[in-house]
Amino acid sequence: MQPQFQVTGASGSITQSAAQNRVLRNTYLLLALSMVPTVIGAVVGVQMGFSFFAGSPLISFLLFLGIAFGFMWGIERTKDSGMGVVLLLGFTFFMGLMLSRILQVALGFSNGGSMIAMAAAGTGAIFFTLATVATVTKKDFSFMGKFLFIGMVVILLAALANVFFQIPALALTISAAAVMIFSAYILYDISRIVTGGETNYVVATLSVYLDIYNVFVSLLNLIMAFTGERD
């Protein structure tokens, strides 16, 4: 009976590993696809001069959070169906529109294009490095969860406070902290997929997408602050 037990255990382990690899592969594929509506939304927003925060900054900020959390709630509810993918792609288009404002600001600099490219390259380097670490080491980074969540809440509250105070130094501090927190979130979220903590690729894609998005925006803010050149 002992040999039979060992074979069954190995089979179960292989099946579990295959399932985790499938979730990771589907996550990467959907993540790549989600960048298409993001780019479309950003281009449309730039061409239209779209600005979500043109009115009251506080109301606009709260409205943005309401729409974003509404999308995320819908994605969570429909994550096991095709509608979950549709909502995710709709959400990434919306986030592309939101991205257009900072891109318009960047393009107002004489070196705007190179700064955007630098932020994109930096974000890509961070993602591929940390995703590789999580995938190759297969280490469980779930212990980081509480710390990262607290850090994200602090950043959100600080960003909300800066809507009123408009302090440049605070804005830079928030961006620097966001790069660190959401970079660590990439490691955490990819690790959850690799170790079997996340088994739904739609939810996994949403998490990693938000990590990458926030790293890019924060990096671009920092790069504009230190290297932006006016004509």
pLDDT tens sequence across 42-82: 999 999 887 766 666 778 778 888 999 999 999 999 999 99
Share of the chain above pLDDT 70, in %: 91
CA distances from 16 to 19, 20, 183, 222 (A): 5, 6, 27, 42
User: Per-residue pLDDT averaged across 209-216, rounded?
Assistant: 96
Polymer length in residues for the chain? 231
State both tokens at 201: 């690729």
* pLDDT of 9 above 60: no
- Give pLDDT, residue 8: 44
**Contact yes or no for 24/193 (Cβ under 8 A):** yes
| Angstrom distance (rounded) from CA 45 to CA 224 | 20
What integer pLDDT is reported at residue 13 of this predicted model? Answer: 56
Contacts of 215 (CB under 8 A, 6+ apart): 123, 126, 127, 178, 179, 182, 183, 186
Neighbours of 85 (CB within 10 A): 18
How far is the C-alpha of 86 from the C-alpha of 94, rounded, in Å? 12
At 208 the pLDDT is 96
The pLDDT of residue 221 is: 95
Kindly tell me if the per-residue pLDDT of 129 is higher than 70. Answer: yes
Structural domain count of the chain: 1
Q: What is the pLDDT of residue 55?
A: 63
* Residue that wins the pLDDT comparison between 134 and 17: 134
Percentage of the chain modeled with pLDDT above 90: 67
Distance CA 112, CA 224 (A): 8
Averaged pLDDT, 112-136: 95
Give me the domain span that covers residue 61. 2-227
- Cα-atom radius of gyration of the chain, to the nearest Å? 20
Residue 231: pLDDT band with limits 50, 70, 90:
low
pLDDT for res 12: 53
Helical H segments across 78-144, by residue range: 82-107, 112-137
pTM: 0.89
Helix (H) or strand (E) holding 51: none
